Structure 1
Amino acid sequence: MPSGFGDKLVIAISSRALFNLDDSHQVYINQGLAAYAQYQIAHEDEILAPGDAFPLVKKLLRLNERLGGDPRVEVILLSRNSADTGLRVFNSIEHYGLKISRAAFCGGTSPYRYASAFGCHLFLSTEAEDVRQALDHGMAAATLIASRKIEDNEDELRFAFDGDAVLFSDEAEQIYKTQGLSAFTESEKAAAKEPLSGGPFKQFLAALQGLQAEFGDKCPIRTALVTARSAPAHERVIRTLRAWNVRIDESLFLGGLSKGAFLKAYGADVFFDDQKMHCESASEHVATGHVPHGIANRRDV
């Protein structure tokens, strides 16, 4: 973490996640980079519509107003645009009053490497390959899936996480995928008192809990574990979080039930899962980030 950020919660966001750039992206796909650059410059005074991550970013930045004093949340823009074509993005940031001042414009190359240089706890993008590279370098990252979620006006900020291959390693999921449910259940019962290794979102959850602690009893941030596990595979999860000294506000052990309705009931602002089928179901109800990590996402499987 760069010393200039101290103990801030630092989130990196791509321009296409923050704003709706579908029209200009289609120009790039159909006509190439030069036409895209001309299009963005010609339209740089036209304000972009909010993207899928916009409500989340707005709520994150609002936390600084609630705490007062020095800002405790930093949002950084990471973009494949050049600074020239990215002017439209910064104009839109200013229009919406978002307090985002730091950015990396990478001129068509992947910006993931700057997420680490900025000391980010989380990287959100619509580019799956950028997300994979960030995960490969030990950072929490997710590919945002287009959602039908309508922004609400509640003040609370609610995060939801899958367990295996997201908060935890995929060591247990490997047994499930290769040997089946019975072997997974027996293995988890035998290892119930052995904490799981951390997954890619462990450090983000810890940083989030540190921010929660600053609010005390009236904290506007809530966290939930939403897992396909059920008893008796629940015990190892509970003991793992206890060993990490990490508190989750709500835990849902669904035993394979579809997660979407439960996420809607919880009111998640964003849900992170490694399995595409769960992400597609969840995105019908809440903003969703696919975490392409673990055995479910191995390209050789």
Structure 2
Amino acid sequence: MGYDLNKKLVIAISSRALFNLEDENKIFEEKGLDEYYKYQIENEDSQLKKGTAFRLVKNLLKINDDFPNDKQVEVIIMSRNNSATSLRITKSIEKYNLDIQRSAWSGGSEISKYLKPFKVDLFLSANEQDVQDAINEGIASARILPYEESADEYTNQVKIAFDGDAVLFSEESEIVYKTQGLEAFLAFEKQNATNPMNSGPFAQLLSVISNIQAKYPQEQTPIRTALITARNSPAHERVIRTLSQWNVRLDEAFFLGGVDKYEVVKAFGADIFFDDQDVHLESTSKNTPSAKVPYKKESILNNI
């Protein structure tokens, strides 16, 4: 029987999200694919610098230390690189002692078609189109933003922060706000206060995380989650009822009512923060690894 990826938290990550490959990407954009391949092969033994998602991946993989015979987290490299240029990436993984054993190298073709066969729960990439394709396929996915880590950011607990609407929950309420204004949004939420919201692209990911959390006493959980949303009273009621209906766990919740998110995100100490709006991510990404969640294209079309 083959290795079973079901019932694990499976993270697929591009090489450019795990490592800082911005200089190499610049070579690709300015000089083309052949020069990029040549550079990677010539620098095969040059260790890559850590990228935005490195800290998240390293901390998540620590969870497996508690389950030596039954990994809870599986990280898979999924990259548009080809097998020849993969050696620099895999050698860097070995040098950083990351337990990443599986990879897929598409040689420039789209990644999204391989996500479901690998049972992926979350896909992180710096490539906007790959992320959009993954979201359209129903996979939780986000585009990693540039971030430079400091040396003291590693802990024994993974901290993941989520925005609410269009991330954990569907974009329905957010579209009401954007198209009709605040008063219409509040009236809509009050009218639907007892009706659970539809799930968003990251709802299933939260459920998988909750399953891992349930294997520990609450005070010893290796993953701590937070909801950080612009909602406030009375629109918070529907959020609380929805999470209860889903029977998932969120350790912390912040209903900011328009207050800037970046200070709360920083205080929480997130290893990553997921949001759908640039206005929030521009500030959070200066202090916290951050990633943008796009709308599912068919959802936008259905609401125009």
Q: TM-score range by the shorter chain?
A: over 0.9
**Distance (whole Å) between structure 2 residues aligned to residue 38 and residue 267 of structure 1:** 39
Of the three residues 284, 287, 290, the one matched with 2:286 is 284
The structure 1 segments of at least 4 consecutive aligned residues displaced by more than 3 Å after TM superposition are 297-301
Shift of 1:186: 1.0
**Distance (whole Å) between structure 1 residues aligned to residue 205 and residue 109 of structure 2:** 25
TM-score by length of 1: 0.95
Say if 2:122 and 2:141, in contact at 8 Å, map to a contact too.
yes
Asked if 1:41 corresponds to 2:38, the answer is no
**Distance (whole Å) between structure 1 residues aligned to residue 237 and residue 227 of structure 2:** 14
Shift of 1:117: 1.4
SS of the equivalent of 1:98 reads coil
Corresponding residue number in structure 2 for 1:140: 140
Asked if 1:196 corresponds to 2:197, the answer is yes
What do residues 111-145 of structure 1 show as CA deviations (whole Å, max 9, x unaligned)?
Answer: 12211210100000000110000000101000011
Corresponding residue number in structure 2 for 1:173: 174
Corresponding residue number in structure 2 for 1:78: 78
Q: How many residues align?
A: 299
Which amino acid is 1:106 matched to? S
Give the 5 Å matches for 1:83-102: 83-102=83-102
Shift of 1:84: 0.4
Corresponding residue number in structure 1 for 2:230: 228
What do residues 77-126 of structure 1 show as CA deviations (whole Å, max 9, x unaligned)?
Answer: 00010000111101111111111111110111221221121010000000
Of the three residues 253, 256, 259, the one matched with 1:257 is 259
What do residues 162-214 of structure 1 show as CA deviations (whole Å, max 9, x unaligned)?
Answer: 00000000111111011100010011011100000000000000000001111
Corresponding residue number in structure 2 for 1:63: 63
- State the Cα RMSD in Å: 1.8
**Distance (whole Å) between structure 2 residues aligned to residue 31 and residue 234 of structure 1:** 50
Shift of 1:25: 1.5
Shift of 1:36: 1.1
TM-score by length of 2: 0.94
Asked if 1:16 corresponds to 2:35, the answer is no
SS of the equivalent of 1:23 reads helix
Say if 1:274 and 1:294, in contact at 8 Å, map to a contact too.
no
Corresponding residue number in structure 2 for 1:109: 109
Of the three residues 279, 293, 297, the one matched with 2:295 is 293
Moved more, 25-34 or 77-86: 25-34
**Distance (whole Å) between structure 2 residues aligned to residue 199 and residue 173 of structure 1:** 12
Provide structure 1 residue ranges, at least 5 long, that are not aligned to the other structure.
none
Shift of 1:284: 1.6
Moved more, 226-235 or 213-222: 213-222
Shift of 1:298: 5.2
Q: Determine what percentage of the aligned residue pairs are the same residue.
A: 48
